[in-house]
Amino acid sequence: MGFIELTVLNNTARQAAIGIDLGTTNSLGALWKDGRPIVLHPEGGNGYVPSAIYFGDDGSIVVGREARDRALIDPEHALFSIKRFMGRGLKDVAQDAKSVPCPLGENPNGVIEFEMRGKKYTPQELSALILLKVHDIACRTLGGHETTKVVITVPAYFDDAQRSATRDAARLAGLDVLRIVNEPTAASLAYGLDQKKQGTVAVFDLGGGTFDVSLLSIEEGVFRVLSTHGDTHLGGDDLDHLLVQAAMEDLSRTIPATTLRDRGFQQLLRLAAEKCKIELSTAPEAGMHVHLPEAALHWRRRFTREEFEQLAAPVIERAIDACRKALADAKLELTAIDEVVLVGGATRIPLVRRRVEEFFGRKPHTELNPDEVVALGAAVQAHVLTGGTRDILLMDVTPLSLGMETLGGAVAKVILRNSTIPCSATEGFTTYADNQTGIDFHVVQGERELARDCRTLGRFKLSGIPPLPAGMARVAVKFHIDANGLLTVSAKEEITGATARIEVTPMNGLTDGEVEGMLKESYVHARADFDASRLSNLKVEVGTMLRATEHGLREYKSALDKETVRDLDDSMASVRAALELSDVTALQKARDVFERATLPLAAVMMDNVAKRALTGKRLDEV
Ligand code: ADP
Ligand code: MG
């Protein structure tokens, strides 16, 4: 997001922004307050929103704790783990689809749709509901201090389609995403590790259903993902499952198999197991209880921590193995790791802490709550992006290489993984047949050599190439990644000036039209004055962008090419026209075009800030 950097520079927008950890199991919001990030929770509550949604028979939809409770009685109408489906196609999620209680489909763009009580919902819409809930709780805690600005975290291994889906979810919730940040980066920020001059951090994240370990390098406030490894089906749930199995063995002697297999009963067992597991993190012994008065069932069993650890050890070793692989991938020795950060509720388990400490040979950071640390870090980033002070410039890197399929199915990488974003790169292409007047471009993401082994991000065609002998046409293809890791690709034939471009709406992503369509759907907009508030927020935002850009142009116009300046002028004119009309949709569109047009300017300005920040620091140190 180009303009964010501009507003940081000018220090104009000081509206607070909320950091949101949109988790597979739990989601949470945090905010910078009085010099530090704090978790936002209502009095008496802890602020966690279980990432669960329940669809009532009266058409109502409830989110969070209440949804999880209702799932106990009516599991057929509850959805969990929606994050697993974000930006994916049906074929990517075959395994997860099995645990979904409703029919799953795919729309013509390959976006998954859950069908509940006769209506279809995309993962983006469902995540939007969770975001709205977190946002609501946050705003209530703030005493009605409305802000729509947010920073949202995603796993480091999320690809473009998954990031894009996350961004769309936020848009559907009426939120303005300042930036998408990697979860391990956020956790490191929460511990202030960006303040280190340089170092290597291992972030070990064991959540409810997923595990990942990321190795990050820090250099002058810039985080680089050196490697990330994990298992998207390894987490606290597996440990619950082990206890459930132990219970089932016991119970199978007394109750019929049909009751045992019932979804509702399974859910009850699962909750009892989780409660027992959580108690065992602090107590040497805990009970697992199942009460079903209707069936006159009162079952209980005690587990010692030792028994639990014996059950859990193989699961935890799988996570440690992934750490070995991550180190090997990054070609690092254990001794290279300076800091270890624990993330995720399941890292409260003493055995997990012990094993991580043994493996890395150093004490991991545990001063902050592991299930809050990502949201706290997102709040730090949000603070910085809204003009708060923290001297260091925070940047992220691309997790995967981006490139173009060439003749023969090979991949020409245009932007290499670990490039600091925002960034741009241009690569030359040509025709392979005589008199070829069009080129089909296939944009891919991944580290593999062949396009078919990488993930397709999009396809587009450049036509209007003059008929020339093979290899004579000169086509410049430009990749641009904005600060959220989202990609625009444009191609230009240099003789005729013919151009084509795509904003890579990734496969399994929503089209702009769909987003607009969904935005109009009323159920996401519980608040009556939603459009009105969106319009006024947009107006403020666009006003800020205009001022910042005018300012930037005064100083840096000479560093930009003519085309960029013209794009900027055009898009500023359209934005001003849309402002006059007070039409939300038109303004949003114009704003998005404008934002893209500001990217080159932002890059120039970023360059300058970076230089200044570095020189500034050196001076301080002398
Ligand atoms: P996610 O990032 O996947 O959304 P969280 O980081 O919130 O998930 O972790 C949720 C997991 O942490 C659940 O399996 C939960 O049972 C587990 N958990 C939470 N608190 C504890 C605790 N005190 N001891 C053991 N496990 C815990
Ligand atoms: Mg998490």
Q: Is the pLDDT of residue 485 over 70?
A: no
| Token pair in block for residue 31 | 């905010």
Ranking 40-49, 147-156, 333-342, 462-471 by mean pLDDT, the lowest is 40-49
Evaluate whether 412 touches 442 at the Cβ level (below 8 Å): no
- Residue 614's H or E segment, with its range, is helix 584-621
Asked whether residue 118 carries a pLDDT value surpassing 90, the answer given is yes
Alpha-carbon 147 to chain mean position:
20
Nearest CA to ligand 1 atom 22: 278
Confidence band for 223, pLDDT divided at 50, 70 and 90: confident
Of the candidates 372, 482, 263, 538, which has an alpha carbon nearest to the alpha carbon of residue 21?
372
The whole-number pLDDT of residue 141 equals 79
> Tell me, what's the pLDDT at 43?
65
pLDDT digits (tens, 9 = 90+) for 590-602: 988 898 888 888 7
Distance from Cα 37 to the centre of ligand 1, integer Å: 21
Nearest CA to ligand 1 atom 11: 208
pLDDT tier at 620 (50, 70, 90 boundaries)? Answer: very low
Residue owning the nearest CA to atom 19 of ligand 1 = 345
* CA–CA dist 282, 284 (Å, integer): 7
Which numbered atom of ligand 1 lies nearest the CA of 239? 14
Q: What residues does the ion ligand 2 have nearby, CB within 5 Å? A: 23, 207
The residues that bridge with 285 in the sheet, in sequence order, are 304
Answer whether residue 392 shows pLDDT above 70.
no
Closest Cα to atom 13 of ligand 1: 208
Q: How distant, in Å, are the alpha carbons of 8, 30, 272, 345, 569 from that of 37?
A: 19, 7, 33, 19, 39
12, pLDDT greater than 50: no
Predicted TM-score (pTM) above 0.75: no
Q: Which residue numbers are catalytic?
A: 21, 83, 183, 205
Q: Whole-number mean pLDDT of the chain?
A: 84
Closest CA to 181 of 22, 13, 11, 14: 22
* Residue 505 pLDDT > 60: no
User: How many angstroms is it from 349 CA to the middle of ligand 1?
Assistant: 9
Which pLDDT value is given to residue 55? 94
From the list 32, 17, 13, the residue with the least C-alpha distance to 176 is: 17
What domains can be seen in the chain, in order of their start residue? 1-191+374-390 (3.30.420.40), 236-310 (3.90.640.10), 398-510 (2.60.34.10), 527-614 (1.20.1270.10)
Instruction: Spell out the long-range contacts of 500-504 with Cβ–Cβ below 8 A and sequence spacing 24 or more.
Output: 500/441, 500/460, 500/461, 500/462, 500/463, 501/460, 502/443, 502/458, 502/460, 503/596, 504/160, 504/164, 504/443, 504/457, 504/458
d(CA 106, CA 112): 4
Question: Number of C-alpha atoms within 13 angstroms, CB side, residue 258?
Answer: 0
Listed in sequence order, the residues at least 6 apart from 592 whose beta carbon sits closer than 8 Å to its beta carbon are none
What is the tens place of the pLDDT at every residue in 211-220?
999 999 988 7
* Burial (CB count within 10 angstroms: exposed 0-12, middle 13-18, buried 19+), residue 116: buried
Q: Are 100 and 106 in contact (CB under 8 A)?
A: no
| Cα distance between residue 432 and residue 406, in whole Å | 10
pLDDT in tens, 554-572: 888 888 999 999 999 999 9
The mean pLDDT value for 512-527 works out to 54
11 three-state secondary structure? coil
Quick one: average pLDDT of 62-66?
Answer: 91
Ligand 1 neighbours, Cβ below 6 Å, are 23-26, 207-210, 235-237, 274, 277-278, 281, 344-346, 348-349, 371
Report CA torsion sign: 20, 21, 24, 25: negative
Mean pLDDT of 319-330: 93
- Give the tokens for residue 601: 């300017």
Read off the pLDDT of each residue in 172-179 and give the average, rounded to a whole number. Answer: 92
What is the distance between the alpha carbons of residues 545 and 13, in angstroms, rounded to a whole number?
Answer: 10
Q: What b-and-e string marks burial along 2-21, b requiring 16 or more CB atoms within 10 Å of the CB?
A: bbbbbbbbeebbebbbbbbb
| pLDDT 10s digits, 262-283 | 888 888 899 999 999 999 999 9
- The residues facing 443 across adjacent strands are 404, 458
Q: What integer pLDDT is reported at residue 619 of this predicted model?
A: 37
Assess whether pLDDT exceeds 80 at residue 251: yes
